[in-house]
Structure 1
């Protein structure tokens, strides 16, 4: 049973490829992880402070006299390449522009000595101002939206440096204040959380990335220490699993008993060596009915299950958790699913707990599939005669002779003491007898040898679960 959903607030460093990173605030809810950035936002003044802003509609003409030291005494930003007018961004105290007391930070320069410069680039505007002579006539209009951002420092001592020329009389420019603003929001249902660098077996240091099913990503979130990292990963994973559990329950209400879903979750699949693709790619695993499905994207509709390209009966596969000595690279928590087509699907899950959860679901899926299947027959040759070896959950092993239409031998599953095969067609089964120390060896030839071996393993696991309820409980 999933733990209750967790709510959590904290901070991390958002690491982008070409920057040192910035601190972001994280807010975790039951259904979403929200990232907030600290940004400047305008704070509107109270209504009673609003002044007369009729000046915003007026084009003003102002005459300046260039000074030897400091020139016109103003700085300009913007230009046609920025899709902005040429904006006065700073007025130097006690110099030409400030002395007029008619120019303000946020004024858009429309004309210089009667010459229209609205379509000029920034460099063209600067050159026009430089060559305009000692007496310069500017046609300007106040541009309040730009003034808000040009006056970012209006909360500091820099306000006074503009010598009262921050905004025109009667115009109150909203102050810019730092505030946490939503930058990204990642839905947790079907989200994929990983510490590994994309497509590789390399772990990020104290960092993870969360990718939503809609493609929204948190970016790489780095934490100060392993403890903080583990706390956040556990909280997010818990909420993802809670949502998946709810989704599985909802889907299962609409499915027949033989089609029930036992497991859904993300993994990483290793690609075939020698290909140009990245070694690892995300795969969404689902155990449904008797089958394992591998999706590129989680199934959203009933038809998605039908369109899945990678589907195998679990009782026709061999599932194995890999030991450290069997790992192919630095990726941890790996398992393999060997199929009868001699294809081995190599998967890695994010944590040991998720890997064991998949293993438990695999055995439950196998038990349910075999309990419904009950029996499976394989064509074979026994002592040169066409026969059929039968696996029956209740009876055990049986050998049926096609010519005489009789059963030549039958053994309970518990009588199987061992087996050996040549890897091609020949299989030898060793059964205990009623005589202590004596073993019966039965040899058959089967063209579907690997399928037969996988099914024997599946029937033995299902039988053990049937006679020992604690088997599935432990899984």
Structure 2
């Protein structure tokens, strides 16, 4: 992501030049290319620039409305992440405390059935990004930490809390599906969790993407998003009978094939 000018102080050099505006991306400073630079590297380049600074910038119109807004957090998109099934939405214990929106500069994101990942949908050369994918797979929140250790600590904390909610999700799923004799050809849901699937794109490129896997008494089911309703549950992207499935566990130095 380029380094953006988010504030211009009145009366100072940038304002007096009348050549810069909010939303400009800084491409270079005195000939030093900053297109791939981190924020810290850009700050150091500006500090070393001296009294006369020559900036190469490019205006990015799409980010201007967000930069000019006083509040950014409350505008984060996270629609469609709430359960739509009466069984889920009507649960007295949602696993999250009730929050009152006393300020606009806040966004409460329920962790139930979110997918916390790292190095999945975008490159992380500095190893300090955390990806939080919504249960409906429509939104992704990218969290950037100050260093690798902080990123690891936050990832473990978020992932641990997501996993702690799984027993509640399983109970609600089985309660919802209990009204029918079968659920996609299976019965009780034994486990459900997000994994990463390697998909082939046009041109032979490969990319990892989230995939939701559920295991029932008889089947292995794959979904693109969390199936909150009976109809959604009955329509998996793929369904594999466990009796005809072979489990392949792969470690760096060994491979194990386990027929089920």
TM-score (norm. length: structure 2): 0.51
- Whether the aligned pair in 2 keeps the contact of 1:195 and 1:204 (CA below 8 Å) is no
Task: Verify the 8 A CA contact 1:187 1:213 in the aligned structure 2.
Answer: no
Distance in 2 between residues matched to 1:184 and 1:251, nearest whole Å: 27
Residues 320-399 of structure 1: matches in 2 within 5 Å? Answer: 320-325=248-253
Counterpart of 1:300 in structure 2 is 228
Give, in whole Å, the separation in 1 of the partners of 2:206 and 2:200.
10
Q: Where does residue 130 of structure 2 map in the other structure? A: 208
TM-aligned CA distance change 1:326 to 1:199, over 3 Å: farther
* Residue number in structure 1 paired with 2:152: 230
Would the aligned equivalents of 2:200 and 2:206 in 1 still touch at CA under 8 Å? no
Change (3 A) 1:260 1:275: farther
Aligned CA RMSD, in angstroms, stands at: 3.7
* Correspondent of 1:218 among 127, 141, 156: 141
| Residue of structure 2 equivalent to 1:193 | 116
Deviation at 1:305, TM superposition (A): 2.4
Kindly indicate whether the alpha-carbon contact (under 8 Å) linking 2:170 and 2:189 is maintained by their aligned counterparts in 1: yes
Query: 2:67 corresponds to which residue?
Result: none
- 1:273 is displaced (CA, Å) by 8.2
In 2, the alpha carbon distance for the partners of 1:250 and 1:204 equals: 39
**Contact 2:117–2:132 at 8 Å: present in 1 too?**
yes
How far off is 1:324 after superposition?
Answer: 0.7
Structure 2: distance between partners of 1:184 and 1:213: 16
Q: Shift of residue 244 of structure 1?
A: 2.4
SS of the aligned residue for 2:113 comes to: coil
Aligned partners of 1:293 and 1:312 also within 8 Å: yes
2:192 is aligned with 1:264: yes
The structural deviation recorded for 1:293 is 0.7
Q: 1:264 to 1:290 in 2, by over 3 A?
A: same
Q: In 2, Cα distance between the equivalents of 1:207 and 1:199?
A: 9
Tell me what 2:3 maps to: 19
Q: CA deviation at 1:207?
A: 2.1
**Structure 1 residues 269 and 203, CA gap change in structure 2 (3 angstroms):** farther
Name 1:249's counterpart in structure 2.
171
CA–CA distance in structure 1, aligned partners of residues 139 and 107 of structure 2:
8
Aligned-partner SS, 2:130: strand
How far residue 184 of structure 1 moved from its aligned partner, in angstroms, is 4.1
Q: CA deviation at 1:203?
A: 6.7
Superposed CA offset, 1:152-180 (max 9, x none): xxxxxxxxxxxxxxxxxxxxxxxxxxxx9
Aligned to 2:211: 283
- In the alignment of these two chains, the number of paired residues is 160
Answer yes or no: is the 8 Å Cα contact 2:126–2:148 preserved in 1: no
8 Å CA contact retained: 1:186, 1:217: no
In 2, Cα distance between equivalents of 1:218 and 1:183: 14
**What is the distance in 2 between the residues matched to 1:292 and 1:199?**
28
Secondary structure of the structure 2 residue equivalent to 1:322: strand
Q: Deviations over 1:221-253 (max 9, x none)?
A: 223341x32321122112212222201012223
Counterpart of 2:154 in 1: which secondary structure? Answer: helix
Distance 2:245 2:201 in 1: 22
Which structure would you say has the larger Rg?
1
Unpaired runs of 5+ residues, structure 1, are 1-16, 23-74, 78-148, 150-179, 328-334, 337-453, 459-475
Q: Give the ranges of 4+ consecutive aligned residues of structure 1 lying more than 6 Å apart after TM superposition.
A: none
The 1-side partners of 2:147 and 2:240 are apart by 43
Measure the CA separation in 1 of the matches of 2:146 and 2:166: 26
TM-score of the superposed pair, with normalisation by structure 1? 0.29
